[in-house]
Amino acid sequence: MPESDHMAAEAREARLRIARHLAELHRLHLGLAAESRALKRFTTEGRAEVEIEVAAEMLEQYLGSSNAFLENMRGRFEARLALLRRGEPRHGPSPEDAPGHGGFWLGFSRLCAVLRRAESRAGV
């Protein structure tokens, strides 16, 4: 198998693994949503303070975990930006002449934009 085919297969496998993790995360989100809907019973039974406390705890814990994950991923990929940038396709006297040059910079710009979004969501 040529190296490019091997890399394409590895990229597909990585995408599939990540898709499975995201599907599991979605199932967890659905479970948390169901739990949050069930909290209203405390209010209907005259114990609104219990619903308030549990809801606040759930949201605080979720935001803390989510922000920690985002900050970790943002830091990890931000630290690699210089190395990633050096991966620009180069063939010939001008980098702009290289096949894949435009696609590379489009992808790099996309990653930078996502990292800025992650930074703002993580509250950094």
| 109 within domain boundaries | yes
| 41 within domain boundaries | no
Residue 81's alpha-carbon distances to 47, 70, 88, 111, in angstroms, are 51, 16, 12, 9
| Spatial distance between the Cα atoms of 84 and 25, rounded to a whole number of angstroms | 28
Q: What is the pLDDT averaged over residues 55-84?
A: 93
| 113 within domain boundaries | yes
Q: Which domain holds residue 70?
A: 64-124
| 24 within domain boundaries | no
| 82 within domain boundaries | yes
| 1 within domain boundaries | no
| 42 within domain boundaries | no
| Spatial distance between the Cα atoms of 123 and 34, rounded to a whole number of angstroms | 27
Q: Which residue has the tokens 């010939």?
A: 92
Count of structural domains, the chain: 1
Assess contact for 90 and 99: CB atoms under 8 A. Answer: no
pTM as predicted? 0.77
- When the pLDDT of each residue in the chain is averaged and rounded to a whole number, the result is 90
| 2 within domain boundaries | no
pLDDT in tens, 95-115: 666 778 888 889 999 999 999
